[in-house]
Structures are given as C-alpha cells and as structure tokens.
Amino acid sequence: PDPQTALHADTFHPTVKAWLFLTDVAADGGPFTYVPGSHRLTPERLAWERHMSLAAVGSHDREIRQGSFRIDPGELPALGLPEPRVFAVPANTLIVADTFGFHARGPAAGRSVRVEIWAYGRRSPFAPWSAFDFWSGAALARRSLLSWQLGDFMERAGIKPHRWRARTGISAFDPA
C-alpha cells in the first residue's frame, strides 16, 4: 500500500512543503488532503505526539518508526480536529502547507496522472540558531548530488535499491 495515502505528519516540528500542480487534480484523482488546524501544537496534540513517540519503537510500520506518525481519521475528534479537507484543484495551483499538520495524498478511483513540482523546507529543530544553516545554498546542492550518487552506488553494490530514478527522453505528460 502507498504510505502517502494515510493521514500523517512528516515530523514533530513545523516544516513546509509546496506543490505546484501542473495538471488538474480531480477529487477522485489522488488530491492533496489536509486536516485544518492540525499544524497547531495543542495540549491534546502534544499528548498524542508523546503517546506515539513512546509506541513508535514497537510499530510494524517503518514510517512510524522513523517519526512520520500516522493518524486514523477516527482519532481526529479527540484532538479537537475537523474532518480532512480535500483539495481538488485546477492546473497551475500552488499549495503550501505546514507538514507538521496531518496530510495525505487522497485515494484515486483508478489510474490517474498527477504532475507536480514539489519543494520542501526543513531545518534541524536541534540547531541553536535560526540563520546561516550549513545545508543551505551551495552546500545543499552538493549534498543532493552526493545523496543521489550514494543511492546509485548502493544499488549497484546490491545493498539497497535506489528509491528515485532519473528519467530522460520522456515527459511527465506522456501516457504511461
């Protein structure tokens, strides 16, 4: 199953992600889904985060063990949260969200195409300063290249398959 279709928070602190949708996204075509207000650290949310962090080590779900906690929609009322909102959007729509809030890729009724440009910003919550992040700018570009090269090396060595694939000679708009 696709782990992105379950409501989840990416981290335990505020972060930002943005999606520029280049194609229309229908309500039954895997739309962005967000729980309004779930980005706020309320006493109920703090208690939920604590409970999840203590239970994470024994979870069968790799995403939860790595800190991306999943939440069942039935748990939302106990946190004082409303139902998730589905964002069926036309092409050329930009959505920016704090992904400490609960979000997901909605289900698709069948095969669908969702072409988007995706970006994120996530600073270390443990850095004692808020500016001059070492991984900003040129250092980040080098880190990204090294990360791709390391993934390619690990796959060639038979250690672990690479999660991402470079695609050339094909457009995101070409039929599958």
pLDDT digits (tens, 9 = 90+) for 132-148: 666 566 666 666 778 88
Rounded CA separation 160/163 (Å): 9
Same domain, 77 and 156: no
Rounded CA separation 155/147 (Å): 12
Same domain, 118 and 151: no
Rounded CA separation 103/4 (Å): 9
Q: H helices within 20-108, ranges in order?
A: 43-55, 62-65
What length does the chain have? 176
pTM (whole model) above 0.85: no
Range of the domain at 75: 3-122
Torsion angles phi and psi, residue 30, rounded to 5: 80, 45
pLDDT digits (tens, 9 = 90+) for 46-87: 999 999 888 888 888 777 777 788 899 999 999 999 999 999
Structure tokens at 36: 């309004």
Stated as kind and residue range, the H or E segment containing 148 is helix 138-156
Tell whether the model's pLDDT for residue 122 goes beyond 80: no
Same domain, 152 and 67: no
Give the domain CATH number at 107. 2.60.120.620
**59, part of any domain:** yes
Same domain, 142 and 106: no
